Structures are given as C-alpha cells and as structure tokens.
Amino acid sequence: MNFRTFAAFVGPSVFMMLLFIAFPLVSVFKQSFYITQPVYETVEVETCTPGFLTQTCVIEQKSQPKLDEHGEVITQTEYVGLQSYRNVLEPERAWRAITEGNWSVLSTINFWKALRFTLTFTLITLPLVIGFGLGIAVLINNAARSIRGPVIFISLLPFIITPVIGALSINWLFRGDGILTALLEWWLNRDIALFAQAWTIEILMMFYRVWHVAPFAAVVFYAGLQTVNQDSLESAVIDGATRWQRMKYIVIPHLMPLIIFVSMIHLMDAYRVFEEIVGFSSQAYVISLQWLTFDFLVPDQAGNRSISRASASAMLTMIGIVLLLILPLRRTWRDHKGGH
Amino acid sequence: MSSRALRQPLSLRLTSNIFLAFWCLVAAFPIVWIAIMSVKSPVDAYDSNALNVIFGPATLATGNGLSVLDIIVGIAVIWGAAMVVTKVLPAKIKEYTSPGQEWFGWVVGVLVALIAFLLVFFVVLPAVLNVLNPLFGPLGRDVLGMTTEHYKTVWVDRGFSNNFKNSLIVTAGVVTVSLTVGTLAGYGLARSGSTLAFWILLIALIFRALPHSVLVAGYLPVFINSAEWLAPILGENAPTLYGKPFAVIAVLVAINQPFTIWMLRSFFQNIPAELDEAARVDGCNHFQAFRRVIMPVMWPGVITTGLFSFLLAYNDFLVTSLLLDAQNQTMVPAIAGMFNRETTTTDQVVAVAAAVSIIAPLFFLVMIFQRQIVSGLTAGAVKG
C-alpha cells in the first residue's frame, strides 16, 4: 500500500483525532497560562433616599464589570504564568502541611485530596479486579457447559450498564435506610450511616468499581483459559502437582499477557475515576482528579467557569497519565522493533 | 472435562458452583432490586423489610397490583413473543426479502415486532385481564403490588421522552460516523506495516488514556465563542457550537476513535491479506478491493465495534453534561439532575424509574449481542 492510498484510508480518522484530541490538548496547555476575566471598573454611585426636608445621599465606591456598546461584558485575557497552577496546588500551604506532618491540613486542599483518593482507589482496586476476575473465570470454566451462557450473560450486566446508573443502583441499596444498610444494622445490631464519613463512601466506591470491572476481566481470562494446554495440565497431575501448583505454574503464566492487558486497561480507567463521585454524590467528602477538573468547568452561581484553573488541573492530571503509560509504551516500542 | 486425570471431586465442583451462584447474585442483585423498587409506591420501595419491598403491601392497598392470573398470562405472552422473534421472524424475513436486502427486512421486522409487543402487552392485555380477573375468584385477586405510575411521571410529566430522543440522536450519530471513519482507518492500518502506521497506533493509545475532562476543558471556551471565530468563514449565521448535538457527536466520535481503530485493526488483521491481494491481481485498486472483497466479510467485526461505540455514546455523562444545554440534554445527565435536586421519597422513586428506563435497552442489547460483546472483549486482549 503506497503512502497516498494509506493517507486516504487513515486521513479522516487522523484528522478527527488531531482536531478534537491533539488540538484541545495544545489549547488546554496554553489556557493554563492565561486567565480570562471581565474588566472591572470602579464607579462612584450616589444613592439617595428621601428624608425629612432634604434627601439623604450616600456615595459609594462600587466595582462592576465594564460593558461595551452592546451591553456585553468586556473580558480581557492576560498572561499569568504559573498562577493557575499555584491556585490549584497551593504549594506554600501544602509544603507547610507536609513539613509539619499535618495530613489533615493537606487534605483540605482539593487537589491533594483528589490525588490521594485517585491513587488509593486505583491501587486498591487493581489487585481486587484481577483476583476476582480470575476467580470468576475459573468458576465459570468449572461449571457445566450448559449454564455457562446464562452465567456470562448475568456477569456482563454490571459491566455493560451505564456507570453512573450502576453507581446509583448500589448507592440506593445503602443510602439512608436502604435495604442492605437495614440488613447490616440488623446483623450488627447498631446504627450505621454509610454516607456520613469519607472512608465508608470510599469502600462503597471501590466495591462498585470491582463489581463493574471484574466481569470484563473474567470474560477475558475465561477466553484465555480455553487455550490452556490440557496435556501439560495432565502431565502436571501425573507428576503429582496439586491444584494450587497447577494454577500457579501452568495457568497463571499462560494468562500473564492477559493479566497485564487487563491491568493496563484498568489502570487507565481507574485513574479517570469520575462517575462514582456523581453516582454516590460524594463531592462533600471524596473527590477525584477528573472530578476536580469537571467541577472547575461547571458554571458557578454567577455563571462563570474557571477555565484556566480547570486547564491547570487537567495538565496536572496528564502528568499522571504520562507516568502510567511510560512502561507499556516502552514495551510496545520494543515489540515493534523486534517485529521488524 | 475431557480427561479422567483432570476430573474434579464432587465437593470441589459443589463449592465452585455455590460460589458461582453467589457471584451471579452479587452481579444481578443491585439491578434487579432497582427494577423492583421502580414499580412500588415510595412507602414500599424504601421499606427496610425486603419482603415488603418485593410484595408491596402499601402499593397493593392503593389498588395497584397483579393477580396470579395476570402473572401467568404475562409470562406466557413474553414467552410467546420471544418464540415468535427467535423462530418465526427470521423465516418470514428470509421469505419476503431478496438476498442482499436482508438488513432492511430485519429493521422493519424488529420494529413491527416491538410495536406489536408493546401494543399487546400494555393495551390489549390489561383490557382483557380486567374482564377475566373477576371471573377467576381467588386466582384473580391481586397479590403482588405493582404500579407503573413512576414511569408515567418520568416519561410524560418530566419530559424524559425528549431526553430519550436526544440520546437517540447522539448515539446514532456517534455510531454511524465513528464506524465509517474507523473502518477505513482500521483497514488502512491493518494492511500497512509502515512506521507511520505504528506511530498513529501508538499515539492513539496515549489518546485513549486521556481523561475526558482534559479534552472538554479544551473544547468549552472554543465552543462557547464559536460564533465569533467562525464568523469570518461562515458569515452571519455562524453557529454557537456549545449545546448542539452535532458538536457533541463530533467530540464523542473523536474520543472513541483510538479505541475503534485499535479494535477494527485487529479484526481486519484476522481477514487474510490474500483476499485483497487476489482482488488486486484481478485488477481492482485498493478502494475497489475494500468495497467488493473486504466489505462483505467485515460485518461481524464492525458490528462488535459498533456495540462498543454505542455503549460509549449512550453511557457518557461527562461530555454530554458539560457540552449540551438543558434543551438538548441526553438521558444520563438528565437523571443526575433529577436525583441531586429532589428530596421527597416519591421523587427518589421517580429517579429510580428513570434509571431503570435507561438501562433497560442495554439489557436487551446484551441479550441479543452477547456473543459479539464477548468476542469484542477478547479480540483486543488476544492481540495484547
């Protein structure tokens, strides 16, 4: 295939990716150094109230946005350097908190709070997803052939449903006196409020994420289990290997590429954790990096969006993505070089 | 198990199956439970006794319920409909359509079946059962509380049908455009071993990992001011891209593109290159080879990829909630507004009904396309 044909086939796709992914990235990078805000002017306003004999007049200094001839607010964009990053990171406060070892102060700064949650969430759910995925795959593989189809159907449901709704459905089971909270209260014989502190919400979120992703891992691993060499399993039995040893020395090494694949996908997706915050309405207690950017982008009461701060926090989120991707990209690069 | 050496003892098989049943319970419970909650009156839906939620005495007391007869007839109708769709429909479609036009027959057939089912189930059946119930004595007495009023509230009073229409527009747009663009690119990438193709794939992988909020931060200011900077090109009628479904479609297609091209590339790699080489020997150029030889055999892969594009567009919250205005809002952001604002239990149950409405189509999707979804999940994995 010569270059021109290749370009004709790939062109539209590359164009869309450049226009809607690469270009926004560049513009976010630029935006994070600039700040756009209305131009304010100070005007003297005289307010008079009718009084006895004379009016009582008060002259006030008022600052209000300047309007142009169409009555629209004039805005100006100025270069502020790293100011937006400083607004998001609050480095002085954060540094003071770290040197004093005062973690509760650090967690009052939104960015660090979000970073802390995003990282714990990603790292705790990863082994759980792999473990449960593998477990379910082995269970399905053990089951009679006739029930595998329906079981896979049921297993796919948590994976396929809208993430916000999935989080909500678990939220509704526990919220207030939801059915499972009532069950827990009856069992432990004490009052439980699962949505009154951060750590219980975090556990519920992690539970949701594992519930949501484990089916994906299970289906992938199940497909891998079909290709395990039966002869080597059999010879292992004859050599006296226990079930556990067969699992450890034959099945797991065989599934290793798939385990790496699922871990990669899960790391990418868990780092973007967002829907859980919406579904559990946990913004008062727990936030994530992507939610932080989202929150800056949502208009506040006055209708302003803090675009530059959103850009700064978006760029900071990107650093994590880069770190996350270095290893797999190196591996792909080596595979590519090895393949030619 | 094929071999005697690998046969498992009964106790192990039993434990394994018990755990599997437990997993199925965990997987299905939240979904089934909200479906049950959505048809009960608020008092029942939030009862702390599970049996009260299932049987719904308070719902029954308001006169909404199902008798044993209702349940039996209802199940029979659903079973009959399933039989008709799986057995009779394919044969009829084969009979009435000429080869090559079957997809059109399927679209019409499925639509007709769906409308007929809705008519029978929600119009004819209640009318018939109203007459029959008094005649059957104890069998005709209501035993299970059930009400559809929350669905009525959601779809009629809250204007959810408008959100549904918007969701439909956005998802249909995203699936069509992203498949068209992605199929061409996937084919090109699969057949070219050049370094450029490798770099495109690598960069696509990086793009796939980007948080969507990062991209939206880039779009928002540009979209809101688009009337200004588009004016020199389009003159007076330059549109404001913010709030427009087509802008969101373009954005979602682009976000989806990295995943689509990776997946389609792996499908095209499984189609032997000898096929298009043979066509080229016969005098086709690349595009003709693609159209005449590859297109007829590519549909399984395209359908699978289309399913995942559909899921992305349908399930999206972040992009649609930030880039669409209230009038063009899709279903998922709309429901987020619903449960955040409302406080009374009735409103809560209405939100539950809205949630169930959103996931019901997905349920049928898995039912019909289970094999394609599984093959799609594993296709990416096998290639690593």
Q: Exposed, middle or buried by CB within 10 Å (0-12, 13-18, 19+), for B383? A: middle
CB B383 within 8 A of CB A186: no
The domain locations on chain A are 38-76, 103-339
When CB atoms are compared, the residue of B33, B188, B250 closest to A173 is B33
* B198-228 pLDDT per residue, tens: 888 888 888 888 888 888 887 877 777 766 7
* Chain centroid, CA B144 distance in Å: 30
| Mean pLDDT value across chain B | 79
What does A78-141 look like in DSSP terms, one character per residue? Answer: EE-TTHHHHHHH-HHHHHHHHHTT-HHHHTTSHHHHHHHHHHHHHHHHHHHHHHHHHHHHHHHH
The model's pTM: 0.84
* SS3 state of residue A337: helix
State the ipTM, two decimals.
0.83
Contact between A139 and B222 using a beta-carbon 8 Å cutoff = no
What does A127-176 look like in DSSP terms, one character per residue? Answer: HHHHHHHHHHHHHHHHS-HHHHHHHHHHHHHHHHS-HHHHHHHHHHHHST
- Dihedrals phi, psi of A63, to nearest 5 degrees: -105, 125
Contact between A307 and B28 using a beta-carbon 8 Å cutoff = no
Is 80 exceeded by the pLDDT of residue B16?
Answer: yes
The domain locations on chain B are 65-144, 159-341
Tell me the nearest-neighbour CA distance from B100 into chain A, angstroms.
25
pLDDT of residue A237: 82
| C-alpha span between A162 and A177 (Å, rounded) | 24
pLDDT of residue A190: 78
Is 80 exceeded by the pLDDT of residue B125?
Answer: no
Q: Pick A105 or B247 by higher pLDDT.
A: B247
Q: Which residues of A touch B19 (CB under 8 A)?
A: 135, 139
Tokens describing residue B232: 């020199």
B18 vs A147, A158, A218, B289, B328, CA distance in Å? 13, 20, 17, 53, 47
* A174-228 pLDDT per residue, tens: 877 777 877 888 888 777 777 777 888 888 889 999 999 998 888 888 888 888 8
* B133-171 pLDDT per residue, tens: 777 766 666 777 777 777 887 787 777 888 888 888 889
B159-341 belongs to which CATH class? Answer: mainly alpha
Mean pLDDT within A56-69: 76
* A110-146 pLDDT per residue, tens: 888 888 888 888 889 999 999 999 998 888 888 878 8
Q: Which residues of B touch A233 (CB under 8 A)?
A: 6
* B294-331 pLDDT per residue, tens: 887 778 788 888 888 888 888 888 888 888 877 778 88
According to CATH, the superfamily of the domain at A103-339 is: MetI-like (1.10.3720.10)
| C-alpha span between A3 and B196 (Å, rounded) | 10
With an 8 Å Cβ cutoff, is A165 touching chain B?
yes
Q: Mutate which of B249, B318, B323 to disrupt the A interface (most A C-beta within 10 Å)?
A: B318
With an 8 Å Cβ cutoff, is A277 touching chain B?
no
* Chain centroid, CA B148 distance in Å: 23
Q: Mutate which of B2, B7, B23 to disrupt the A interface (most A C-beta within 10 Å)?
A: B23
